[in-house]
Homo-oligomer: A and B are copies of this chain.
Amino acid sequence: MSAPTFRAIGVVHTPFTNRADTPLQPAFAHDVTGEVRFDPRYRDALDGVTGFTHLWLVTWLARFDEQAPEPELQQVPLLLRDDPKVLGIFATRGPRRPNPIGLSLVRVLSVEETTIRFAGVDLIDGTVVLDVKPYVTMFDQPVGDIQCGWFDDRLGTDNARLGSETGQGAHPCA
């Protein structure tokens, strides 16, 4: 069965030109700005985006002109470099995945013509964008208790935000 191929809808431009200097997640670079420049043919698809403060960027974290190799199925996450632990890739957010798809929550600064400027950059300059989706609280925020596995130990209180429907307190992984 031949699988479908992606369309590159745009490209991300950021200050980061090599992987080593690029933040692991937007949460580690709230104030760094970048932009998505869309293929002009998608201009009309941006109508209405200005009403949202936050967007998901769905990106391709590998070369776009060749098939990515199958990654190691178990890896040491970069966040655990100093206390190495091997984990299955589906328990990590690392970029070397069977489909190297990135998911970045960014804050919108402006939407003009075919460019979205945003803050919170974890992407290397030139990253291909596959999709942009509006952040919708009801869809994207868990209800009830939240546990975030090894991230809870590693990120500690930085990972403690309100995640319950009632907002009575920090979630249990704080």
- Chain A residues within 8 Å of B, Cβ to Cβ: 1-9, 25-27, 30, 42, 44-54, 56, 58, 60, 62-68, 70, 73-74, 86-93, 97-99, 101, 103, 105, 107, 130-151, 155, 158-163, 165, 167, 170-171, 173
Contact = CB atoms under 8 A, between A and B. Distances in A.
A146 B4 contact: no
How many of these chains are in the complex? Answer: 2
Contact of A146 (B53, B74, B97): B53
Given A5-B4, A90-B45, A103-B133, A138 B27 contact: yes
B53 A145 contact: yes
A171 B140 CA distance: 14
B146 A91 contact: no
